[in-house]
A and B are shown apart, each in its own frame.
Chain A
Amino acid sequence: MHDDHPHPHDHRPDQDGPLSDYQLMEIAVRELLIEKRILTADEVRRAVEAMDARSPALGARVVAHAWVDPAFKARLLANGTAACEELGVAMGGTKLVVVESTPEVHNLIVCTLCSCYPRMLLGLPPDWYKSRAYRARAVREPRAVLREFGTELPERVTVRVHDSTADMRYLVLPPRPAGTEGWSEERLAALVTRDSMVGVSVPRVA
């Protein structure tokens, strides 16, 4: 606690609790790999840095490009992995399936088993995506879940849930909002949020 200036805000408590079994296991395996010279500490650090550097901006660039280039959109829907690599996104062997939402069909992504997520395009998943509540309810009552995210869908819109149970990863290609005719790709990409690519929301013109 610093006493040299006033603190109107709360401090985040120090994380001094005991390590969990998984944390201990991670530290033990990492130290062994480094000791045995299979990896260097710098390689581990660089891999973590590269993982943390991925963000939904990558996915947004892919979506915006699909909105302005129909031929790219067709390739993206046919083979998501190859189309993303075309734009220079490192897919690292991820098999990507892109599902298109339209005024008639709304797509929602979940992993009921764990937390599979298109990390190459969106970075790390948000906490709610990994929660048991989301994983159980997205598949059981998707319309109620969408409503809680502020996304109200009329009965005439079909809701398709995609459960990432195995080797595929999913990205929603959301519908391009009306009133964006003639916009540049950069300006369009700014409308494409993480949540709209998971399908709990849709892009809107602010």
Chain B
Amino acid sequence: MSARFKAGDAVTVRRAYPPGHLRTPHFIRGKAGMVERFCGSFPNPEELAYGRNGLPALPLYRVRFAQRQVWPDYAGAPGDTVDIEIYEHWLEPA
């Protein structure tokens, strides 16, 4: 599966709450960030968790978010960030 996004792209995490084993933390759903790097493609953990093979492998990204956008009352410096690994099917172009 070819990667849809590249480093520097603005993306938004889908605001979705499906049941099952998910690796996208709740706190980041619906938030906008920037792709820091493409990490390669990996078997889908949402399938692996239930004994399936997780194929085709999914592109995985590290996405960087501004802490002040993630937490409205964030107490640190304006430049502080949190980087999170997110699979492509959770991302939309911002």
List residues of A whose CB falls within 8 A of some B CB.
95, 97, 112-113, 139-144, 155-168
Instruction: Please give the distance in Å from B35's CB to the nearest CB on chain A.
Output: 14
B62 interfacial by beta-carbon distance below 8 Å = yes
Are A158 and B85 in contact, CB atoms less than 8 angstroms apart? no
Are A155 and B77 in contact, CB atoms less than 8 angstroms apart? yes
| Alpha-carbon distance between A160 and B85 when the two chains are bound, in angstroms | 14
| Alpha-carbon distance between A6 and B81 when the two chains are bound, in angstroms | 56
| B residues less than 8 Å from A168 (CB atoms) | 39, 60, 62, 85
Partner pick for A95 among B25, B40, B81, CB 8 A cutoff: B40
| B residues less than 8 Å from A165 (CB atoms) | 23-25, 84-86
Are B76 and A112 in contact, CB atoms less than 8 angstroms apart? no
> How many positions in chain B have a CB within 8 Å of any CB in the partner chain?
25
Q: Is the contact region of chain A dominated by helix, strand, or loop, or is it mixed?
A: mixed
| A residues less than 8 Å from B40 (CB atoms) | 95, 167
| Alpha-carbon distance between A140 and B39 when the two chains are bound, in angstroms | 24
Are B80 and A144 in contact, CB atoms less than 8 angstroms apart? no
Are B39 and A95 in contact, CB atoms less than 8 angstroms apart? yes
Are A144 and B75 in contact, CB atoms less than 8 angstroms apart? yes
